[in-house]
């Protein structure tokens, strides 16, 4: 692997921003300093640019195998690289579901062949994600990053407790999609002001927080490492906060769309605003801000969920749940949170890099001797979101036409440039 020299950038090194050069050799950061010269290295001029540790996304849907008309490992990992991500965790709701060593090995073969960044697959908690019978946790644990039935909540508390006990014994963790199906009522948006105004069935916050509260206590009883996916309701955030205070090993993530939008920001009867969990109320968004500030919320994850154009063109009630988010995640969060004065750039980096890496047991950070995973960003660059220009096969985004600040210029993964903006 040829050497790489990133010249004259401003990098987040050991928690502090400093002007420096970064010399990379054999995928590892060899030297950080000023005035570094290396004629044999490929040199990238980073003057005026900011270098952050590569982002780690704990929650994406890459759709392969089984749903290649929506996305593939190749297109999804390319989209993630374009967003500054150097590692993503792929959910198991595939065909076949990643619920056995045989099935997950099919996925791993595709990842080995096609991924342009690190792709770490989850295995399903239950067979077929049907909630009836546990997967072979022990056989799957060495092959997966963690366990999730994402897309569905585990309805039985007894089943979830058994899963937690076995997952803890196997040395892994659970990433839970919390959704009590008995409380859904066929809704398509948040059960709040917008739903009432439009006369659309709503999805209550209780459908999420009832399971979060249940699982946090079960995590306390079993001692398992437990992570709440795409947290959206103020009550859910409070449940995690209380679990942390009790010393339980609980963490959670929030998505950029729940950071930036609430239900009253929905502009039209358009599938690009339909996701699960839905955009909640303004008070939930305020609770998210508080959770980001006080450390209750550990990380930002995209829940990148591509669908075909047709599947997203049926309006709010009939479109598929899910939007894409890999390519806009940092820009959305920088614009809303850093420019908006909610948190600092250093805290945003922690939420998108250091914390998810820590939860996953991965190395992170721009330091000599560490693996070279770096996002190169123009913080001053403003651009308009155009879904049709995404590298992802999914084009549906609630940020369509919005002006965002901070654009990823290049991404270095394992010392290799895997994305460079044209």
Positions annotated as catalytic residues are 303
Q: Which residues contact 231 (CB under 8 A, 6 or more apart)?
A: 208, 212, 237, 240, 252, 253, 254, 258, 288, 291, 297
Phi-psi region for residue 286, left (φ > 0), alpha (ψ -120 to 50) or beta? alpha
State the Cα–Cα distance between residues 45 and 61, nearest whole angstrom.
34
DSSP state of 278: P
> 280-289 burial by CB neighbour count: b if 16+ within 10 A, else e?
bbeebbebbb
Residue listed under structure tokens 């270098």 = 51
User: Do 341 and 331 meet the contact criterion of CB atoms below 8 Å apart?
Assistant: no
State the Cα–Cα distance between residues 32 and 16, nearest whole angstrom.
13
User: How far is C-alpha 326 from the geometric centre of its chain's CA atoms?
Assistant: 8
Q: Which residues contact 341 (CB under 8 A, 6 or more apart)?
A: none
Angle at 368 between CA 364 and CA 373, to 5 degrees: 40
Q: Which residues contact 166 (CB under 8 A, 6 or more apart)?
A: 134, 137, 138
Angle at 132 between CA 127 and CA 135, to 5 degrees: 30
User: Do 35 and 45 meet the contact criterion of CB atoms below 8 Å apart?
Assistant: no
């Amino acid at each position: 692997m040829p050497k790489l020299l990133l010249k004259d950038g401003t990098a987040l090194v050991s928690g502090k921003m400093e002007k420096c050069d970064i010399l990379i050799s054999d995928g590892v950061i060899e030297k950080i300093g000023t005035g570094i010269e290396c004629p044999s290295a490929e040199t990238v001029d980073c003057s005026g640019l900011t270098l952050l540790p590569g982002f780690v996304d704990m929650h994406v849907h890459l759709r392969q195998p089984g749903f290649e008309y929506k996305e593939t490992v190749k297109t999804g990992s390319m989209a993630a690289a374009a967003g500054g991500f150097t590692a993503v965790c792929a959910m198991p709701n595939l065909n076949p579901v990643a619920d056995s060593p045989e099935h997950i090995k099919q996925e791993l073969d595709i990842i080995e062949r096609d991924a342009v960044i690190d792709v770490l697959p989850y295995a399903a908690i239950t067979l077929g994600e049907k909630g009836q019978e546990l997967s072979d946790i022990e056989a799957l644990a060495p092959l997966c990053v963690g366990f999730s039935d994402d897309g569905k909540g585990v309805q039985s508390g007894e089943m979830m407790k058994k899963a937690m006990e076995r997952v803890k014994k196997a040395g892994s963790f659970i990433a839970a999609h919390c959704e009590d199906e008995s409380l859904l009522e066929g809704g398509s948006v948040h059960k709040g002001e917008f739903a009432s105004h439009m006369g659309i069935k709503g999805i209550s916050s209780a459908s999420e927080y009832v399971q979060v509260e249940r699982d946090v206590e079960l995590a306390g009883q079993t001692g398992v490492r437990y992570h709440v996916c795409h947290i959206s309701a103020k009550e859910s955030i409070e449940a995690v906060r209380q679990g942390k205070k009790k010393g339980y090993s609980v963490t959670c993530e929030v998505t950029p769309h729940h950071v930036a939008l609430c239900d009253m920001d929905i502009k039209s009867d358009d599938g690009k605003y339909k996701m699960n969990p839905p955009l909640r109320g303004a008070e939930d968004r305020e609770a998210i801000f508080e959770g980001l500030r006080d450390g209750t919320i550990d990380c930002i994850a995209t829940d990148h969920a591509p669908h075909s154009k047709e599947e997203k063109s049926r309006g709010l009630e009939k479109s598929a749940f899910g939007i894409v988010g890999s390519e806009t995640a940092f820009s959305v969060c920088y614009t809303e949170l850093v420019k908006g004065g909610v948190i600092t750039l250093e805290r945003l980096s922690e939420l998108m890099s250091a914390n998810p890496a820590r939860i996953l047991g991965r190395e992170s950070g721009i330091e000599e001797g560490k693996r070279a995973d770096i996002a190169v960003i123009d913080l001053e660059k403003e651009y308009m979101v155009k879904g049709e220009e995404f590298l992802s096969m999914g084009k549906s985004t609630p940020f369509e036409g919005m002006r965002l600040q901070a654009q990823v210029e290049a991404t270095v993964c394992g010392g290799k440039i895997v994305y460079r903006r044209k």
